[in-house]
Amino acid sequence: MSEYKYLNGFGSEFSSEDPRCPGALPQGQNNPQKCPYGLYAEQLSGSAFTAPRTENTRSWLYRIRPSVGHKPFKSFNGTYVSHDWIERNPDPNPLRWNAFDFPHEARDFAESIHTICGAGDPKLKNGLAIHIYSCCASMKNRAFSNADGDFLIVPQAGTLHIITEFGKFDVKPNEIAVIQQGMRFSIEVLEPCRGYILEVFGRHFNLPDLGPIGANGLANPRDFLTPVACYEDLEGRYEIVTKYQGKMFYCEQDHSPFDVVAWHGNYVPYKYDLSKFMVINSVSFDHCDPSIFTVLTCQSDRKGTAIADFVIFPPRWSVQEHTFRPPYYHRNCMSEFMGLIYGEYEAKKGGFQPGGASLHSMMTPHGPDFKCFEAASNEKLGPTRVADGTQAFMFESCFGLAITTWGADTCAKLDPDYYKCWKGLKKHFTGPK
Ligand SMILES: O=C(O)Cc1cc(O)ccc1O
Ligand SMILES: [Fe+2]
């Protein structure tokens, strides 16, 4: 049982007060001449002031000191964060990475972010980056904040204990955390931790529309959890590490940034347990497109088209009749980056490792490996469980994704034999009658 307390809901107007300071939230106004307990009021905006009401997000933080009290930013060297999408020649091949390494030396979350691929530009608030983190040390007197966009964190190994300005929470494999643009957080770990980060620039994740599904289903809003206010009043040297326009910086200050005593608003960090996802699928015939498994979507300006969708392949029943049940062969105008939290992915049993990844770029042909094709074409169809004990996921994007030098070379995880998984596909054509 987790020690943390949460508020339930997605996109709600929340308010929270640290119980040590009852009445810390100003009543009836945001900016009293003097805030209760001598706190400072600070607004954190997640949208333009003038954004339509349905997209307008902001929170008011009541804190011991305002965030502005820090020394100048300097370059934070030695990271593998990169948004230099032209450092390599494009590679149209299907790509698969073996499991990424746990760190060889003590490294905290902020130091351990390695960009693998991405597109677009945080300056233009359009695009995404996909990172791998792999850390075994806690962030000591160090906070991280991303000026470029939102982080959707997918732990694959180890629990992350996250301290934020809004409160504390933990996130473990088969859960996700979303920390939105500008929110300061620190991560403590008690074991080696590894996972994936989907970063979207300048826009936010939302629940997908449900259309004819109706008012309920997929990820239900009440299952999203936001932490409650919990402040620390600590003096000493603290570092704020910031990702700003694709580069890392740090500054020093003489106190903890986690000094928010109370807050209210609809711009918050949150977590979600993937086992709560209500799965919808075909109960007659044929294979539904994987969009039925969308947990969260970050929409582009083009209707129905995502900068990034976060899609899962959860345990479920498979009951379709006279159907080739695994994923179909396809070429997609979207880019498909996949990861595996645990177990085996149904279309690629074997080669695709937990903690590894694959990328099928725009129009790159792919589909089940030959073993999967042969087995699924000949299996006796009845109700069966699929994906029990597994959780694969996909970041699907309308952008063409460029691979960084770390992703292509330095990580040394690309599997040169990936293409061989389709080698055995035989000709079954029976010829004209
Ligand atoms: O390529 C993949 O494995 C992901 C995927 C799964 C599916 O069920 C249908 C389409 C698709 O791209
Ligand atoms: Fe695919």
In this structure, the answer to whether residues 246 and 282 fall within a common structural domain is: no
Q: How many CB atoms lie within 10 A of CB 400?
A: 17
* Among candidate residues 71, 69, 151, 51, the one with its CA nearest the CA of residue 110: 151
Please state the atom number of ligand 1 nearest to the C-alpha of residue 332. 12
Which residue's CA is the closest to the ligand 1 atom numbered 9? 327
Per the CB < 8 A criterion, the answer to whether 73 and 242 are in contact is yes
For the residues of 231-245, what is the DSSP string, one character each? Answer: ----EEEEEEEEEET
Measured at the alpha carbon of residue 166, what is the angle toward residues 164 and 167, in degrees to the nearest 5?
Answer: 70
Does residue 428 lie within any of the structural domains?
A: no
Ligand 2 centroid to Cα of residue 335, in Å, is: 8
* Among candidate residues 382, 415, 396, the one with its CA nearest the CA of residue 98: 415
In this structure, the answer to whether residues 89 and 119 fall within a common structural domain is: yes
Please state the atom number of ligand 1 nearest to the C-alpha of residue 328. 9
The rounded distance, in Å, linking the Cα atoms of 33 and 359 is: 54
Tokens of 331: 């070429």
Domain containing residue 183: 72-259+266-274
Per the CB < 8 A criterion, the answer to whether 332 and 362 are in contact is yes
pLDDT < 70 stretches in the chain: 1-2
Tokens of 41: 């009021």
Please state the atom number of ligand 1 nearest to the C-alpha of residue 287. 8
Please state the atom number of ligand 1 nearest to the C-alpha of residue 394. 4
Ligand 1 centroid to Cα of residue 61, in Å, is: 42
Q: Catalytic annotation on 255? A: no
213, 247, 274: which is the final residue of a domain?
274
In this structure, the answer to whether residues 169 and 83 fall within a common structural domain is: yes
In this structure, the answer to whether residues 84 and 159 fall within a common structural domain is: yes
The rounded distance, in Å, linking the Cα atoms of 130 and 116 is: 6
In this structure, the answer to whether residues 229 and 334 fall within a common structural domain is: no
Measured at the alpha carbon of residue 374, what is the angle toward residues 370 and 378, in degrees to the nearest 5?
Answer: 165
In this structure, the answer to whether residues 287 and 270 fall within a common structural domain is: no
Does residue 218 lie within any of the structural domains?
A: yes
In this structure, the answer to whether residues 171 and 282 fall within a common structural domain is: no
| Catalytic residue chosen out of the listed positions 287, 322, 360, 428 | 287
274, 299, 328: which is the final residue of a domain?
274
Does residue 284 lie within any of the structural domains?
A: yes
* Residues 207-243 pLDDT 10s: 999 999 999 999 999 999 999 999 999 999 999 999 9
Does residue 430 lie within any of the structural domains?
A: no
Q: Would strands 391-397 and 335-342 be described as parallel, antiparallel, or unpaired? A: antiparallel
Which residue's CA is the closest to the ligand 1 atom numbered 6? 327
Residues lying with their CB under 5 A of ligand 2, a single-atom ion: 336
Please state the atom number of ligand 1 nearest to the C-alpha of residue 347. 3
In this structure, the answer to whether residues 241 and 99 fall within a common structural domain is: yes
Tokens of 369: 């490996």
Could you give phi then psi for residue 177, rounded to 5 degrees?
-125, 140
The rounded distance, in Å, linking the Cα atoms of 227 and 59 is: 14
For the CA of 421, the nearest ligand: 1
Q: How many CB atoms lie within 10 A of CB 135?
A: 24
Tokens of 277: 């996802």
355 backbone φψ class: left, alpha, beta (φ>0; ψ -120 to 50): left
Ligand 1 centroid to Cα of residue 298, in Å, is: 19
Q: Would strands 335-342 and 357-360 be described as parallel, antiparallel, or unpaired? A: antiparallel
* pTM for the full predicted model: 0.98
Does residue 392 lie within any of the structural domains?
A: yes
Q: Confirm or deny that 70 is annotated as ligand binding.
A: no
Ligand 2 centroid to Cα of residue 422, in Å, is: 14
**Exposure of 56 in the CB half-sphere (CA atoms within 13 A):** 5
Residue type, 374: E
Q: What is the pLDDT of residue 2?
A: 62
To test the pocket of ligand 1, the residue of 286, 289, 418 to mutate (highest count of ligand atoms within 8 Å of its CB) is 289
Which residue is it, tokens 């880019």? 335
Q: What is the pLDDT of residue 366?
A: 96
Per the CB < 8 A criterion, the answer to whether 246 and 8 are in contact is no
In this structure, the answer to whether residues 192 and 80 fall within a common structural domain is: yes
Q: What is the pLDDT of residue 1?
A: 46
Q: Which residues surround ligand 1 with Cβ inside 6 Å?
A: 290, 327, 330, 332, 336, 347, 360, 366, 394
In this structure, the answer to whether residues 240 and 318 fall within a common structural domain is: no
Q: Confirm or deny that 267 is annotated as ligand binding.
A: no
The rounded distance, in Å, linking the Cα atoms of 405 and 89 is: 10
In this structure, the answer to whether residues 270 and 283 fall within a common structural domain is: no
Q: 175, exposed or middle or buried, with CB in 10 Å at 0-12, 13-18, 19+?
A: buried
Total of domains in the chain? 2
Give the domain CATH number at 159: 2.60.120.10
Per the CB < 8 A criterion, the answer to whether 139 and 133 are in contact is no
Q: Confirm or deny that 336 is annotated as ligand binding.
A: yes
Ligand 2 centroid to Cα of residue 384, in Å, is: 22
Residue type, 206: N
Q: Confirm or deny that 366 is annotated as ligand binding.
A: yes
To test the pocket of ligand 1, the residue of 329, 330, 361 to mutate (highest count of ligand atoms within 8 Å of its CB) is 330
Per the CB < 8 A criterion, the answer to whether 335 and 361 are in contact is yes
211, 241, 274: which is the final residue of a domain?
274
Does residue 226 lie within any of the structural domains?
A: yes
In this structure, the answer to whether residues 120 and 140 fall within a common structural domain is: yes
Does residue 19 lie within any of the structural domains?
A: no
Ligand 2 centroid to Cα of residue 84, in Å, is: 26
Does residue 24 lie within any of the structural domains?
A: no
